[in-house]
């Protein structure tokens, strides 16, 4: 199984987003108002997976409309995102990094994707869905969809970015090895598990890929960097800190497992696009 890490743009967010260590009004305010010098540029990663059952994509990154010329364009951002989210994210999508552009560079069309897995509905993970029309399946945990009508999520997850996509909702079921004991076994062979890692959102899934006695864990936004679980620092953007810590403890266990080939976070600034094979 090959896991290609694709950089689908970036975001310039408050330094409290990855390492705020609290979900607080002060952090929320900083995330909207911090000046540029208190912000960090984080990548937005998607993952293209060559799996025996077909070609999988995890998340969709930003859309071209947010950055038409490949540079930071505040007016274009506000056409796509509400004012608060535009201030939070300050996104850029350099030329060639939109998901459909990267697929085309590999000679692929959206129709060639057997399954697009959405880890959760935050804008930086679903804006690029508009470029994936024709993908055979698009799946999302039902629990993430269920809570998306809650006010706090409405502010975070504009429905315009994902409501029109033919999203198939998958139900978490009991699983022994998961922070919340909830997971979806996508193909029924434990080769692709969507493991509920709540805290950042209630329904968020990490994706655990198994092959030949080894595994790779795509941690989504349960962690922004290994620093989160190694130093016990929770990200400052989320919904429930206790759940965040529980998810981080599970990720730390996975990272320590000798069978672990990699734990990858969606916004780890220390990671460059590369391919992991298991």
Residues forming contacts to Zn ion in the complex (CB under 5 A) are 124, 221
For Zn ion, the closer of residues 175 and 265 by Cβ is 265
- Of the candidates 106, 88, 114, the one whose C-alpha atom is nearest the C-alpha of residue 29 is 88
Q: Work out how close the CB of 174 gets to Zn ion at its nearest, in angstroms, rounded to a whole number.
A: 27
Q: Which helix (H) or strand (E) holds 180?
A: none
Output the six-digit token pair for 45: 């990663």
Contact yes or no for 121/148 (Cβ under 8 A): yes
For Zn ion, the closer of residues 143 and 221 by Cβ is 221
For Zn ion, the closer of residues 45 and 175 by Cβ is 45
What is the C-alpha to C-alpha distance for residues 276 and 278, in angstroms, rounded to an integer? 7
Q: Work out how close the CB of 227 gets to Zn ion at its nearest, in angstroms, rounded to a whole number.
A: 16
For Zn ion, the closer of residues 10 and 175 by Cβ is 10
Please report the beta strands in 91-163, taking only residues with DSSP state E, as ranges in sequence order. 91-92, 115-117, 138-141
Q: Work out how close the CB of 221 gets to Zn ion at its nearest, in angstroms, rounded to a whole number.
A: 4
For Zn ion, the closer of residues 172 and 237 by Cβ is 237
Rg, C-alpha atoms of the chain: 17
Pairing of strands 214-220, 275-277: unpaired
Output the six-digit token pair for 202: 């209630």
Q: Work out how close the CB of 135 gets to Zn ion at its nearest, in angstroms, rounded to a whole number.
A: 20
For Zn ion, the closer of residues 48 and 175 by Cβ is 48
Q: Work out how close the CB of 44 gets to Zn ion at its nearest, in angstroms, rounded to a whole number.
A: 7
- Of the candidates 237, 230, 204, 252, the one whose C-alpha atom is nearest the C-alpha of residue 21 is 237
Pairing of strands 173-174, 168-170: unpaired
Q: Work out how close the CB of 224 gets to Zn ion at its nearest, in angstroms, rounded to a whole number.
A: 8
């Amino acid at each position: 199984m090959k896991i290609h890490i694709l950089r689908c743009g970036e975001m310039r967010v408050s330094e409290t987003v990855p390492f705020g260590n609290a979900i607080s009004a002060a952090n929320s305010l900083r995330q909207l108002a911090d000046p540029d010098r208190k912000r960090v540029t984080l990548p937005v990663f998607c993952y293209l997976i060559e799996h025996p059952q077909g070609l999988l994509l995890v998340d969709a990154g930003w859309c071209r409309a947010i950055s038409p010329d490949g540079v930071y364009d505040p007016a274009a951002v506000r056409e796509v995102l509400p004012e608060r989210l535009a201030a939070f994210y300050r996104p850029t999508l350099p030329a060639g990094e939109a998901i459909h552009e990267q697929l085309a560079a590999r000679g692929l069309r959206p129709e060639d994707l057997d399954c697009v897995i959405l880890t959760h509905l935050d804008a930086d993970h679903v804006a690029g869905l508009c470029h994936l029309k024709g993908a055979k399946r698009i799946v999302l945990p039902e629990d993430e969809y269920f809570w998306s009508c809650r006010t706090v999520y409405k502010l975070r997850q504009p429905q315009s970015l994902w409501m029109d996509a033919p999203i198939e909702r998958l139900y978490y079921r009991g699983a022994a090895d998961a922070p919340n004991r909830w997971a979806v076994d996508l193909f029924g062979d434990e080769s692709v598990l969507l493991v509920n890692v709540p805290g950042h959102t209630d329904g968020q899934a990490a994706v655990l890929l198994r092959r030949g006695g080894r595994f790779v864990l795509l941690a989504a936004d349960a962690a922004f960097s290994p620093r989160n679980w190694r130093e016990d620092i929770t990200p400052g953007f989320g919904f429930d800190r206790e759940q965040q810590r529980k998810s981080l403890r599970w990720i730390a266990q996975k990272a320590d497992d000798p069978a672990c080939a990699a734990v990858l976070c969606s916004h780890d600034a220390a990671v460059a696009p590369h391919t992991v094979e298991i």
